[in-house]
A and B are shown apart, each in its own frame.
Chain A
């Protein structure tokens, strides 16, 4: 595709050549040939080609707010002309240093090589697709239209969020507001060698677990069943998270809002429990794409959950979402009887939350024992109110109104933790649950 400039020169050639031919004027013909020769020679200058682009990141999984160095190595092997090297960045990325657009001149002869380094800040968590580097091959005389080609490979940069610091209070003797898991053991799982009790033999018990001596002593009793040693299962109790990822959880700017704080808090909670050896699973409901995390332990589980959380996008709220999420995880809840942590704003649809919590209670608790359910309620009022005093008073009234509703939840055995993400850290908020003696 030739440019307008080339068209202009070609028209001028046509004019001179045709007039020269019509009137037999060789001057016109020769001047026309001069223009034609210029256009043809200019068009025949081969544009740059044979491009090789390598892009490297200083960190492939940075944390939100980190600065990442991007190194671009460009090599143009053949041709002559300009090459515009352009790395398209996600909208949210901030260019800290250098430039993501460069211009490389490829002269005749040897290959042109260049290394460009620029720095970007990733302000928000998420998985960011970085398309292949765009090269615009430009004819040096601009007689031919520039051509855009993709070079290199598209890459994905996963920006993780910083986990909130959730700590355990040590050396402080106090009374907790609630009974939280600390030394509860897992209900299912591989058995350890720690002896728990002796019980009657049940179908499926391994023969090697039969306590022959105890069975022999029992021969005088009516029961003829052998006795087996029961060992404690490995690991601690399971913790199940239900995270509400609806759009109403977002209050604030695109980069910094309550949802981001909730994500950080969730990661902090996950890390806290995983570090202590708990099994963690969960369901992120109301999200753009719901996510189920199968309960597991260890560092890998932490990275799995952190990755899912870093890519979590808020979605439109749906009626009965919590209840559906509970139903979806019913089998695992019944099997593990976990401690459950629900992170949502109950005041948005109180009845809906009640239904969900009832379902949760149904699957996690037994007649003998109520398994604890925690509801972390992120308060967005302070973010919405800003510095307006009247708005702050209004939010105080709203909180007071909701407090009566929370009493219903407390009667159900749900422990509600109000947390203002803008004013205090989740770790500090949880520590405040302990009253020192």
Chain B
């Protein structure tokens, strides 16, 4: 990620760097705004599938009962202000100061939002039973749409991360003297790998969510199979995952052996 050092003028290609830096910053902020809008929209959709008051209130009730914020002739629904305001506030802070630290802060604040909207009866029930000796059963704790939109929300967050990372990459390579036409291939290169990876991961999570949902629909009357089915599916999935981890560990072990001396100062 960018550091103060990155901002220093490129000794090899000062003109090219300065021109590109201005263009890059403008593009970065423009893209970040677009991504933030998408992220907030997905978060809002996921929020509509809220089951915090499941059984007590329906979506319409939540929407109707929430207050609107009046500002002159404009009236904005509080949910919109809360969701978009939160995402844009944190996201713009990240866009203005893109660094590893600000990314972590942004990422975990987004995760906090995700945790908040997925807060449901299972937790509430546990809390009530543990501390207030009350018992409220959720009707349907798992919502496949909620997971789908949450996955899309996460996808956008990750894409935002790699958007900043690509610019940082490009800036670093420019500073080292890599020709501009080669640096221009950084973003397409990153996204060529990112898009299939992230889609595969999202498909995996959504498929698991669907399986859970279907399991509950099909085996509603039984108490044995749904849980077992999910366990089987998870166990089946863990086999390739275990192979992946094994491969990574082997690779890492090999890297340690072949580790070279640190690169000298350029």
Contact = CB atoms under 8 A, between A and B. Distances in A.
B94 to A, nearest CB: 13
A350 interface: no
Contacts of A103: 173, 178, 182-183, 185-186
Interface in B22-44: none
A390 interface: no
B193 A45 contact: yes
A31 B154 contact: yes
Contacts of A5: 100, 103, 161, 165
B102 to A, nearest CB: 12
A264 to B, nearest CB: 31
A134 B126 contact: no
Interface string A31-53: 10111111011111100000000
26 contacts: A1-B252, A2-B252, A8-B104, A16-B114, A19-B115, A25-B118, A26-B209, A27-B143, A27-B147, A27-B150, A31-B150, A31-B154, A33-B204, A36-B241, A37-B241, A38-B197, A38-B198, A40-B244, A41-B201, A81-B189, A82-B169, A88-B266, A104-B182, A141-B162, A148-B263, A149-B260
A374 interface: no
Given A12-B107, A31-B151, A25 B141 contact: yes
Given A8-B103, A16-B111, A147-B255, A105 B260 contact: no
B227 to A, nearest CB: 11
Contacts of B193: 42, 45, 80-81, 140-141
A142 B150 CA distance: 24
A142 B100 contact: no
Contact of B158 (A23, A38, A142): A38
B178 A84 contact: yes
B108 to A, nearest CB: 7
B171 interface: no
Contacts of B179: 99, 102
A31 B205 contact: yes
Closest 6 CB pairs of A and B: A34-B205, A37-B201, A38-B201, A140-B193, A27-B118, A103-B182
Contact of B197 (A26, A30, A45): A45
A213 B42 CA distance: 121
B96 interface: no
Interface in B169-209: 169, 173, 176-179, 182-183, 185-186, 189-190, 192-194, 197-198, 200-202, 204-205, 208-209
A93 to B, nearest CB: 13
Nearest to A134: B263
A150 interface: yes
A258 interface: no
Which secondary structure dominates chain B's binding surface? Answer: helix
A431 interface: no
A65 interface: no
Contacts of B197: 38, 41-42, 45, 141
B255 A1 contact: yes
A99 B178 contact: yes
Contacts of A25: 118, 120, 122-123, 141
B12 interface: yes
A23 to B, nearest CB: 4
B264 interface: yes
Given A12-B111, A25-B141, A101 B150 contact: no
B98 interface: no
Nearest to A140: B193
Most-contacted residue by chain B among A15, A82, A134 (CB, 10 A): A82
A102 B182 contact: yes
Contacts of B146: 27
A116 B90 CA distance: 43
B147 A147 contact: no
Contacts of A23: 122-123, 126
A81 B193 CA distance: 8
Contacts of A142: 165, 169
B91 interface: no
Nearest to B151: A34
A4 interface: yes
Nearest to B121: A25
Contacts of A102: 178-179, 182
Interface string B243-262: 01101100010011011101
A38 B196 CA distance: 10
A94 B247 CA distance: 44
A107 interface: yes
B209 A30 contact: yes
Interface in A139-159: 140-142, 147-150
Interface in A101-155: 101-105, 107, 134, 136, 140-142, 147-150
B142 interface: yes
Nearest to A136: B263
A34 B259 CA distance: 31
Contacts of A27: 118, 120, 141-143, 146-147, 150
A88 to B, nearest CB: 7
A24 interface: yes
A155 to B, nearest CB: 17
A37 B240 CA distance: 11
B110 to A, nearest CB: 9
A28 interface: yes
Interface string B1-20: 00000000000100000000
A344 interface: no
B248 A44 contact: yes
A100 interface: yes
Interface string B114-144: 1100101011001000000000000001110
B132 to A, nearest CB: 16
Interface in B198-224: 198, 200-202, 204-205, 208-209, 212
A25 to B, nearest CB: 5
Contacts of A26: 141-142, 209, 212
Contact of B260 (A16, A37, A80, A147): A147
Interface in A34-77: 34-38, 40-45
Contacts of B154: 31, 34-35
A113 to B, nearest CB: 14
Interface in A328-349: none
A107 B192 contact: yes
Contact of A84 (B107, B173, B185, B258): B173
